[in-house]
C-alpha cells in the first residue's frame, strides 16, 4: 500500500514554505527517516524525512514550489525493493526548475553521513561529492566546516561542471556581465522586516562609549578556570547580556512593545542575540535570560552558534524576544545604527573594541573602548529613558561588581 509523503506541520506563525531541493528522484530507493527534500521557511530550513523504507514512485511537487502544511509531496511504495523499482514515465516525472540545482540529489544520495541544510548548500555551491567528506558531527554528520575543509578544486570531488551553474550570466549594456539570483525566503523576509521597521516605528539612536578595562581584566583573570570548570569559554556577550538585563529591569519600557494603542510591558526577559549565517542574519532567543548564570549564557550562545552553522535552529529558537543584542564589532564595525527587530522597541548595537586615548583622573591614557548604540522606538521610549538605559549599561560594564551587589 502506497504512503503519501506530505509537508510536515509548519509552526503556527509560518503560513507556507518553499520546497528548495529534492534529494531523491522518482524511482530511487530510500531508507526510513532519510531526508527527501528541504523546505525553506522565512526563518529556518526544515527536512522532509521518509516515513518508511521503500521506493519513491512519484514526485508531485517540483523544486521551487511554495507549499503548505499537509500538502502532498510524493508517493512512496514501502513494499517495493530495489530490484522492483520501475522508472517513472517521463510525463509523470517532475523536473526542478533551473533556479534549483538538481545535482544536489546526487550529492545527498551518495553522502557517507547525514548532512544538514547548511552543509548541503556548500556542497551544492562548490560541487563537492558528499561521499568524499569526512563528517565530524554526531554519528558522522557532515558539518558546514567539514565541507569547507575539502579542496573543491580537486577534479575527483567535482560533481557539477562549471557549465551547469544554476546562475546564468547576463550581458548588461556595454557588454559587461552581471548575475541575477533570486533572494532566498530568509533574505526576502529580512528585507520586508527592515522596511516594516522603518515604516512603522519612530526609530532613533543614542550612543555612548564603554571602557572595558575592568571586564577584560576580569576575563583574563578567570577565563582559564571558567573554561575548565564549565566547559565553555568566557566571552564578552555574557557581560553585555547581564548588563542589558540590569538596565531593562530599571527601564522596563525599553523591554516593552506597541500593539495598536497599547504598550505591552513584558515582565520577562527574552533576549535575542543576532547571529550571522551564510543565509543571512538570524536572531535566536535566550528565553528568561535573567535566570541564567554566566556559564549558562555562554553555553547557550555556543549552542546557538553550533545550530546556526548546521542549519539546525528550530522555529522555537527564533520566535519571540523582547530585546536584541547585535555585535557588529566581530566584523570590525566601529559605529553603526542598528534597526529594530519588530515588534521589539529596543536593540543594542555592540562594536569593535579599540584602544583609544581617554582622560582618566586628569591624565591621558590608552583604554580599550567600545561604542555602543541603542536604537529605540521613540513612540513609547523617551530620550531620557534611552540615555539612562545606556548609562546604566556603561556603569555596570565599567564596574562589573555592580552585577553582584545590585547597585
pLDDT of residue 139: 64
Highest-scoring range by mean pLDDT, 7-11, 116-120, 139-143, 403-407: 7-11
Q: What global pTM score does this model have?
A: 0.67
pLDDT at 358 over 70: yes
- pLDDT tens-place string over residues 87-106: 444 334 444 443 333 333 33
At residue 161 the predicted structure's pLDDT band, cuts being 50, 70 and 90, is: very low
pLDDT at 9 over 70: yes
Question: Exposure pattern of 163-178 as b/e (b: 16+ CB <10 Å)?
Answer: eeebeeeeeeeeeeee
d(CA 241, CA 301) in angstroms, rounded, equals 11
pLDDT of residue 202: 94
Secondary structure of residue 241 in the 3-state scheme = helix
Burial of 85 (0-12, 13-18, 19+ CB in 10 A): middle
d(CA 82, CA 389) in angstroms, rounded, equals 65
Architecture of domain 186-405: 2-Layer Sandwich (3.30)
How far is CA 139 from its chain centroid? 23
pLDDT of residue 263: 96
At residue 277 the predicted structure's pLDDT band, cuts being 50, 70 and 90, is: confident
At residue 173 the predicted structure's pLDDT band, cuts being 50, 70 and 90, is: confident
pLDDT of residue 159: 39
Q: Is 382 in the active site?
A: yes
How far is CA 266 from its chain centroid? 24
d(CA 192, CA 158) in angstroms, rounded, equals 37
What average pLDDT score do residues 201-230 get? 96
pLDDT of residue 167: 58
| CATH class of the domain defined by 3-165 | mainly beta
Q: Is 23 in the active site?
A: no
What average pLDDT score do residues 395-407 get? 85
Location of each CATH 3.30.559.10 domain in the chain: 186-405
Location of each CATH 2.40.50.100 domain in the chain: 3-165
Lowest mean pLDDT among 23-32, 181-190, 376-385: 181-190
pLDDT of residue 286: 96
d(CA 224, CA 250) in angstroms, rounded, equals 33
At residue 144 the predicted structure's pLDDT band, cuts being 50, 70 and 90, is: low
d(CA 346, CA 381) in angstroms, rounded, equals 9
C-alpha cell at 401: 561588581
Mean pLDDT computed over every residue of the chain:
82
β-pair type (72-77, 3-6): antiparallel
- pLDDT tens-place string over residues 292-330: 999 999 999 999 988 887 778 887 888 889 999 999 998
pLDDT at 154 over 80: no
| Angle, vertex CA 348, rays to CA 342 and CA 353, nearest 5 | 150
Catalytic position from the list 16, 230, 378, 385: 378
- pLDDT tens-place string over residues 49-66: 888 889 988 899 888 888
Amino acid at each position: 500500500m502506497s504512503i503519501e509523503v506530505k509537508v510536515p506541520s509548519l509552526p503556527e506563525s509560518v503560513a507556507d514554505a518553499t520546497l528548495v531541493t529534492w534529494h531523491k528522484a522518482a524511482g530511487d530507493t530510500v531508507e526510513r527517516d532519510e531526508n527527501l527534500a528541504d523546505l525553506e521557511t522565512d526563518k529556518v530550513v526544515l527536512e522532509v524525512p521518509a516515513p518508511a523504507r521503500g521506493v519513491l514512485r512519484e514526485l508531485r511537487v517540483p523544486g521551487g514550489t511554495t507549499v503548505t502544511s499537509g500538502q502532498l509531496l510524493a508517493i512512496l511504495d514501502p513494499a517495493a525493493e530495489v530490484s522492483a523499482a520501475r522508472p517513472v514515465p517521463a510525463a509523470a516525472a517532475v523536473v526542478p526548475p533551473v533556479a534549483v540545482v538538481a545535482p544536489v540529489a546526487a550529492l545527498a544520495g551518495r553522502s557517507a553521513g547525514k548532512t544538514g541544510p547548511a552543509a548541503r548548500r556548500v556542497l551544492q555551491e562548490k560541487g563537492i561529492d558528499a561521499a568524499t567528506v569526512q563528517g565530524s558531527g554526531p554519528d558522522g554528520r557532515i558539518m558546514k566546516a567539514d565541507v569547507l575543509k575539502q579542496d573543491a578544486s580537486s577534479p575527483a570531488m567535482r560533481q557539477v561542471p562549471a557549465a551547469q551553474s544554476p546562475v546564468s550570466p547576463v550581458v548588461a549594456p556595454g557588454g559587461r556581465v552581471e548575475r541575477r539570483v533570486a533572494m532566498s525566503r530568509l533574505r526576502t523576509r529580512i528585507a520586508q522586516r527592515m522596511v516594516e521597521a522603518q515604516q512603522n516605528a519612530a526609530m532613533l539612536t543614542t550612543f555612548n562609549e564603554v571602557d572595558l578595562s575592568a571586564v577584560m581584566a576580569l576575563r583574563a583573570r578567570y577565563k582559564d578556570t571558567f573554561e575548565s570548570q564549565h566547559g565553555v569559554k568566557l566571552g564578552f556577550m555574557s557581560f553585555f547580556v547581564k548588563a542589558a538585563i540590569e538596565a531593562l529591569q530599571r527601564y522596563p519600557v525599553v523591554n516593552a512593545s506597541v500593539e495598536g494603542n497599547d504598550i505591552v510591558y513584558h515582565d520577562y526577559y527574552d533576549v535575542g542575540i543576532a547571529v550571522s549565517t551564510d543565509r543571512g542574519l538570524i536572531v535566536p532567543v535566550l528565553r528568561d535570560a535573567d535566570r541564567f548564570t554566566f556559564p549558562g549564557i555562554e553555553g547557550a550562545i555556543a549552542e546557538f552558534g553550533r545550530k546556526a552553522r548546521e542549519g539546525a535552529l528550530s522555529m522555537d529558537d527564533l520566535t519571540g524576544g523582547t530585546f536584541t543584542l547585535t555585535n557588529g564589532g566581530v566584523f570590525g564595525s566601529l559605529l553603526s545604527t542598528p534597526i529594530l527587530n519588530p515588534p521589539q522597541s529596543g536593540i543594542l548595537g555592540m562594536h569593535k573594541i579599540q584602544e583609544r586615548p581617554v582622560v582618566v583622573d586628569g591624565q591621558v591614557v590608552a583604554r580599550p573602548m567600545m561604542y555602543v548604540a541603542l536604537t529605540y522606538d521613540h513612540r513609547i521610549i523617551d530620550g531620557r529613558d534611552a540615555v539612562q538605559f545606556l548609562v546604566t549599561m556603561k556603569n555596570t560594564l565599567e564596574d562589573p561588581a555592580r552585577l553582584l551587589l545590585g547597585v
